Amino acid sequence: MNKFALVLTGITITSLFSTGFVLADDAAIKTMAQITMSLNHFPSDDDKAALKGIIDSDDSTEEAADIAVAISNFQHKVTEKDAERLEDTISDGNTETDARKLASILLRIHHTASDEDKTTLAALAEG
């Protein structure tokens, strides 16, 4: 195999892996947005199972896992520890915009999302 073909193969493989992580993260954001839209004081058992899947997935980014943990631990509002992680997610320049939006909404929620936040969540859920 010549050098060009080897380099091209490497780039292709890297692109496929990168795209896979982005697609997995997009699916995680959509799922978490849907859960957050219907959140009422705390997540349901089914919601917690879906969130655990995101947390345990090798395809989830650290930010997506942190957001999933925050939603899973939600009791009327995010915990102080989770709020710190969400603040870190928001301030990290490498965090995807949709993850930042979701983290910001979670920090504002007390019991349930506002109508304005539900509109944003609906857009995130649609992707």
Categorize the per-residue pLDDT at 1 as very low, low, confident or very high, splitting at 50, 70 and 90. Answer: low
Q: Report, as an integer, the average pLDDT of 75-87.
A: 97
21 vs 118: which has the higher pLDDT: 118
Alpha helix segments (H runs only) across 57-96: 62-72, 80-91
Quote the DSSP letter at residue 127: -
The whole-model pTM stands at: 0.80
pLDDT tops 50 at residue 23: no
Q: Which residues contact 69 (CB under 8 A, 6 or more apart)?
A: 51, 55, 82, 85
pLDDT tops 50 at residue 11: no
Report the SS3 class of residue 93: coil
Where are the domains positioned within the chain? 3-126
pLDDT tops 70 at residue 19: no
Structure tokens at 13: 């493989």
Place of tokens 């957001």: 67
* Nearest residue to 89 (alpha-carbon basis) of 58, 75, 114, 68: 68
Categorize the per-residue pLDDT at 2 as very low, low, confident or very high, splitting at 50, 70 and 90. Answer: low
Q: What's the pLDDT at 17?
A: 44
> What's the CA dihedral at 73, 40, 35, 116 to 10 degrees?
-120
